Amino acid sequence: MCFHLIYLQLLATFLIQYERIKGVQSSGVMTIFWSISLLCATVIFISKIKHALNTGADEDAFRYATFCIYFVLVLVELILCCFPEQPPLFSETVNDPNPCPEFSASFLSRITFWWITGLMIRGYRNPLEAKDLWSLNKEDKSEEVVPGLARNWAKEWSKTKRQPLNMLYAPKKQQKSGDSNGDVTEEVEALIIKPSQKSSEASLFKVLYKTFGPYFFMSFLFKAAHDLLMFAGPEILRLLLNFVDNRAAPNWHGYFYTALLFVSACLQTLILHQYFHICFVTGMRLKTAIVGVIYRKALVITNSARKTSTVGEIVNLMSVDAQRFMDLTTYINMIWSAPFQVIVALYLLWRNLGPSVLAGVAVMVLLVPINAVMAMKTKTYQVAQMKSKDNRIKLMNEILNGIKVLKLYAWELAFREKVLEIRQKELQVLKKSAYLAAMATFTWVCAPFLVALSTFSVYVLTDKTHVLDAEKAFVSLALFNILRFPLNMLPMVISNMVEASVSLKRLRVFLSHEELDPDSIARGPTKEAEGCIVVKNATFSWAKTDPPLLSSINFTVPEGSLVAVVGQVGCGKSSLLSALLGEMDKKEGYVVVKGSVAYVPQQAWVQNATLEDNIIFGREMSESRYKRVVEACALLPDIEILPSGDKTEIGEKGVNLSGGQKQRVSLARAVYYNADVYLLDDPLSAVDAHVGKHIFEKVIGPKGILRNKTRVLVTHAINYLPQMDTILVMSDGEISEMGSYQELLEQDGAFAEFLRTYATAEQAVESSESDSLEGPIQPLETDTNSPSAKEGKPIENGGLVNEAPGKLMHRQLSNSSTYSRDTGKPQQQSSTAELQKPLAEKNSWKLTEADTAKTGRVKASVYWEYMKSIGLFMSFLAIFLFICNHVASLASNYWLSLWTDDPVINGTQQNTTLRLGVYGVLGISQGIAVFGYSMVVSIGGIFASRYLHLNLLHNVLRCPISFFERTPSGNLVNRFSKELDTIDSAIPPIIKMFMGSTFNVIGACIIILLATPIAAVIIPPLGLLYLLVQRFYVATSRQLRRLESVSRSPVYSHFNETLLGVGVIRAFREQQRFIRHNDRKVDENQKAYYPSIVANRWLAVRLEFVGNCIVLFAALFAVIARTKLSAGLVGLSVSYSLQITAYLNWLVRMSSELETNIVAVERVKEYSEMEKEAEWSIEQTAPPSSWPQEGRVEFRGFGLRYREDMELVLRNINVTIHGGEKIGIVGRTGAGKSSLTLGLFRINEAAEGEIIIDGINIAKIGLHDLRFKITIIPQDPILFSGSLRMNLDPFDQHSDEDIWRSLELAHLKNFVSSLPDKLNHECAEGGENLSVGQRQLVCLARALLRKSKILVLDEATAAVDLETDKLIQSTIKSQFEGCTVLTIAHRLNTIMDYTRVLVLERGEVVECGTPDQLLQEKGIFYSMAKDSGLV
């Protein structure tokens, strides 16, 4: 004995030392060791005391004393073990402000999850905020998790890359509407041409297993231990029932069994939740890793691969598919655990009932395939539903991106119909799934009953001597209840695995996409002689399989020269820049670009960040350089006008900037970057002539900031060409001519011909050059001669009115920062004053509203709202059927206990058949009720989703434009995808389970009270404890869920933004910074998710403890009252109490799930209560269908403001435009040109005055009545994905001949007839497979089709070359001859032959007359014409 102890103590000492060296602060091994030591010592200690008391016998005093001391020491050791030690001295210092307490907590605290209690208390007192959350543990952070997976995947992928994988990117096929059941196999049309041997596919599963397997393996051990302990319950129940039957057994047996039952239950609880904790943490890491890997991959895939997965699909990979894996981790162990549980249960049942068990097993085995078939069916429906959902989200995404165009064209209804059509398909699939779900619930609830019925009837009927006593009946029931779980889980796990495998495949296809070849473009140092950009015999295409787009390109750009690329729309100018950036696939040839590159894309990409961050773009801030850049790019006046200067937040996609401002910000970003080579894709198209000239002189031209850099400029503006060093002329993907301006004129080729047509511009440039700038440009503040300083960039007191229509400026001016001509402040002073606006004012202004988290309990009104959406009759019917089901269930079990107590006469029981019959009838009625409520709830759920989606869609489309500018599209997409998905498929099953577990718990309590009325003393306090814990938990959990969903939106928004700007990010080589940014956002999201999974464990451990107490008292009271009780009742009460733990667990789980998911209803409702724009059509005041006949537009004292609290941006405008007049509207940037069109379309309602068209006040009629009758060609040409035909005529009102005629007039006929699908040509998302100029022409074709009396052109020709522009202008003249045309122009040459010109300045009309008159007056129009070189 002593030696054993000594060995043990030595072992203990050794372990303690070992763990301290490892830095363990609280050891589990030691705690368990001391507990067991104490338990053994206690037994010896008690027997020693008894021995000493009984006989005053010869006890060795020394040994007795030492043993007592030993006992006390063990006790002290155990107590000390419960407290954590200080971290070792040599451990690294943690400089985390809010570290997670998990690792410094003691062992006991960790197995009972006590360490999170602090957070729970804080969350209960007042709603949690993001700052209360702990930092993630180091091993859960993205920087730890993602690289591991990325490394393993790279290894695996490189193995398969040695055997080349043939990938073809086929154009997307038109989806047939009928094939909803087709599998979403490859998701995209990446057709993998299957290589012969299967092994060549990179196995993503293997990679995931390698990365997360080792940690996950621990869960395997916990699960096995838990499964074994599960069977302790029925075994102890058997002993207990024997004890109750056997009146001779001593009492302590009963107490011992009761204690044993309690301890085994508690151990089971602790082990199970350690297991769950490991699973959830693995799941969380998995999601982090997958999101990180997808993000990293999205930054490197080729453009052809990128086209095959739309933004929506890639975002789905991050949200839905990553979530699938998370869900699977918790279940995957069931694959081996379920069969194991079944085998053990069957063995014990056989021991109990003999061969009759086979009857029950047969029923179960029959149910498994039924369940499996249902699971597979559900799966196919789910795939179909996912497909519809993908399409719906894609369409919603485009609607939200192009909402302004929808409003201007009054197309909301057409697109609403398109969405509802997809939604209808989705709901049909949902309905089928609902019927299936009802069937599944039916089998799930009835299975245990059918099994018990068949087993008992076979057992009783096969042999007269088979007596159904309490022990047999209730131990069997307990085992059947255990069996029910694995049998029902298996199909679910299998279907989950199938789902995950579909996701795995989608992920694998995405991760195996081709990547851009970083070496296709040699990026050398800048010091070699032959030139800065060298291209020899290069041929490029967008994808490996495409025909080449640029062929045999040869040119060399010497360092520091300025090169222009000119040519017609769609001739490959932008593609040439993409090729130099390495974005295209190089077929052959040799390309070198030396030094760093900065790129300005044709369509500016602006981040949702402050203006300053957009310009600095991750570089360190240098005040002087920043000021110089901002001034050179003509951004100072704009910054002055923004509410918080350059600290103003820019909305998503730059919604609160005009087109010209976005372009200038994009340019400023490139200039600030200070690269060696500048690739500029038509940055001057979106700005007016005056600003364009300023930018060319100060930035791009021979005297600009960039004069020593190598610049390649794609441009349509010919007046700058004489100042270029070299001009490349492109046509059809080849360089047709090349040389300096003079050389090209002498060659007398196509270029010279083209120039003669527009010769006027040329002389003007020389003259304007001489007077503009004398010396070279130093820091620009000193140069008071520059036009921008002279004019002081007039702005209006009301706030800048930008060029783009409808981009509402939420901008206010503080009077201190307004400066205009009359004050004549020098530019320098104002610029410094501007950049140092008081900080208080800077921080006060934000544009986009972050997704907010509601706080506090979900209001009862939300539940009521949901019940109303289902229909009140349905709701109450469901509740009634629930009650019927549970009454039948209780009755049948009570009947069973009466049956087991039937006296046995001559070894048989009497009236067995009666007992069996009633038992059967009760069971069947239970089944009918189940099926009923299941159907009612599922169908009701579909009613609700249809109603709520319709409402949401209608209300969002009715919101005014200002709403879309304030709300990030991520929030809206979140409503349409995540929240609606919750309402569709999560809420109905949760309601079923919630109701089910509620009644189960009530039923169990009733039975326990029937058997042992004394339990009435103990159930209420336990119930109170339960409610307390639950209230505590729900407060925190709900808020954590809200924080988690709020922090999820930015992950998607940032991802969307990255996908849109991926070309820019790659050009600037900023991938690493964006990856870090994404990791931070994911970690922020997981920071809220981690506490919520721990909170779930915290709750479960406490609740199961309450449940275990109920078991303890049910058994204890049964032991105490065993003389009065029959074995049947004891069996009934204890077997119910054994189940109560599971029910309680479910109940809380479901009540909190219900509460967190019903939030979706609340968030969907929230948007239906937003402000709305005016009615779409008003019956009473609808204008006659022929209106407007003349097209006469009168502005009477018209004024406009953007928001209630802002000044007027247009004031007392009094102009009458007669029918058929052609009016040009000009003015400096921000003079209010576009605001005029906004007023005309009532995108903003008039603040004063009115607009009369043909005698009808437009404010009195419906918006659609108005917008259908006026046509606009907007500044940003937006197309929607779908056929070209749909983009031209979404309402299908016109014949094909009409459409072809409009295309011919828009000069697109040749292009469209060359397409394989002609009018059915699929436009990509946002029209990306057409060039910007072509999109502009499509918008022109739209206008020609609508042929309304009033046409508005908003800088419609900014993106096309001069030749096409001339064609467009002549088309407009001939086709809209009798119509009123209002043109907002940057290129003044387009309006020189118009009837009249309005010149706006600060929101007022300052000059109005024919162009010739105005030129005579030498006013503002004259100075603008001079800037454009027209005078």
Write out pLDDT tens, residues 408-420: 888 888 888 888 8
CA distances to 80, 413, 942, 987, 1153 from 981, in Å: 51, 23, 12, 9, 15
Omega of the bond leading into 164 within 30 degrees of 0 (cis)? no
Reported confidence tier of residue 527, pLDDT bands at 50, 70, 90: low
Q: Quote the CA–CA distance of 368 and 880 in Å, as a whole number.
A: 30
Q: How many CB atoms lie within 10 A of CB 748?
A: 10
Section 1223-1227 average pLDDT: 85
Write out pLDDT tens, residues 946-967: 888 888 888 888 888 878 877 7
Write out pLDDT tens, residues 660-689: 888 888 999 999 988 889 999 888 877 877
CB 1233 within 8 A of CB 1227: yes
Three-state DSSP class for 464? coil
Tell whether the model's pLDDT for residue 1030 goes beyond 90: no
Section 982-1001 average pLDDT: 83
CB 1219 within 8 A of CB 1376: no
537 pairs with which residues across the strands?
A: none
pLDDT, position 794: 33
pLDDT, position 847: 53
Which residues have CB under 8 Å from 1110's CB, separation 6+?
A: 1008, 1018, 1019, 1022, 1137, 1140, 1141
Which residues have CB under 8 Å from 125's CB, separation 6+?
A: none
| 571's tokens | 């001739």
What is Dmax (Cα atoms) for the chain? 134
Q: Quote the CA–CA distance of 1181 and 1179 in Å, as a whole number.
A: 6
- Of 1179, 1215, 1194, which is closest to residue 1405 (Cα–Cα)? 1215
User: 591 φ, ψ to 5°?
Assistant: -130, 130
Reported confidence tier of residue 1075, pLDDT bands at 50, 70, 90: very high
- pLDDT above 70 covers a percentage of the chain that reads 87
Helices (H), 901-977: 912-958, 961-966, 969-974
DSSP annotation string for 1087-1117: HHHHHHHHHHHHHHHHHHHHHHHHHHHHHHH
Write out pLDDT tens, residues 284-317: 998 899 999 999 998 888 887 877 777 778 888 8
Write out pLDDT tens, residues 204-218: 888 888 888 888 888
Section 832-857 average pLDDT: 46
Instruction: Supply the Cα-derived Rg of the chain in whole angstroms.
Output: 39
Section 36-60 average pLDDT: 77
Q: Quote the CA–CA distance of 825 and 128 in Å, as a whole number.
A: 51
Q: Quote the CA–CA distance of 968 and 980 in Å, as a whole number.
A: 18
For residues 1278 and 140, the model is more confident at 140
Section 1094-1101 average pLDDT: 87
Tell whether the model's pLDDT for residue 1061 goes beyond 70: yes
Q: For the sheet with 1270-1273, list strands across it.
A: 1270-1273, 1350-1354, 1380-1384, 1222-1226, 1396-1401, 1404-1409
Three-state DSSP class for 1293? coil
pLDDT, position 1074: 92
Reported confidence tier of residue 180, pLDDT bands at 50, 70, 90: very low
| 218's tokens | 């621990």
Tell the residue number behind the tokens 């543990």, with chain if given: 137
- Lowest mean pLDDT segment, chosen from 769-778, 865-874, 967-976, 1107-1116: 769-778
pLDDT, position 759: 53
Tell whether the model's pLDDT for residue 857 goes beyond 80: no
Tell whether the model's pLDDT for residue 120 goes beyond 70: yes
Tell whether the model's pLDDT for residue 1299 goes beyond 80: yes
Q: Quote the CA–CA distance of 803 and 798 in Å, as a whole number.
A: 15
Tell whether the model's pLDDT for residue 1282 goes beyond 50: yes
pLDDT, position 526: 58
Average pLDDT, the chain: 78
pLDDT, position 806: 35
Q: What single-letter DSSP state applies at residue 320?
A: I
Reported confidence tier of residue 582, pLDDT bands at 50, 70, 90: confident
Q: What single-letter DSSP state applies at residue 903?
A: P
Tell the residue number behind the tokens 């695995």, with chain if given: 497
Q: Quote the CA–CA distance of 945 and 988 in Å, as a whole number.
A: 10
Please give the single-letter amino acid code of residue 982: T
pTM of this prediction? 0.71
pLDDT, position 774: 34
Section 1417-1431 average pLDDT: 79
Write out pLDDT tens, residues 331-350: 788 888 888 888 888 888 88
Q: What single-letter DSSP state applies at residue 1325?
A: G
DSSP annotation string for 758-825: TTHHHHHHHHHHHHH--SPP-SGGG-TTSHHHHH-----TT--B-SSTT--------GGG---TTT--
pLDDT, position 1076: 92
Please give the single-letter amino acid code of residue 1052: Y
Tell whether the model's pLDDT for residue 826 goes beyond 50: no
Q: Quote the CA–CA distance of 453 and 447 in Å, as a whole number.
A: 10
pLDDT, position 599: 92
Tell whether the model's pLDDT for residue 1238 goes beyond 70: yes
**Given its phi and psi angles, is residue 1292 left (phi above 0), alpha (psi -120 to 50 degrees) or beta?**
left
- Lowest mean pLDDT segment, chosen from 114-128, 791-805, 1080-1094: 791-805
CB 1188 within 8 A of CB 1347: no
Tell whether the model's pLDDT for residue 563 goes beyond 60: yes
pLDDT, position 90: 62
Which residues have CB under 8 Å from 447's CB, separation 6+?
A: 363, 364, 367, 484, 487, 488
CB 1369 within 8 A of CB 1381: no
| 1223's tokens | 């009016």
Reported confidence tier of residue 762, pLDDT bands at 50, 70, 90: very low
pLDDT, position 790: 30
Write out pLDDT tens, residues 495-507: 778 878 888 888 8
Report the alpha-carbon angle 848-854-859, nearest 5: 140
pLDDT, position 58: 66
Q: How many CB atoms lie within 10 A of CB 1027?
A: 10
- Of 404, 398, 568, which is closest to residue 1331 (Cα–Cα)? 568
Which residues have CB under 8 Å from 822's CB, separation 6+?
A: none
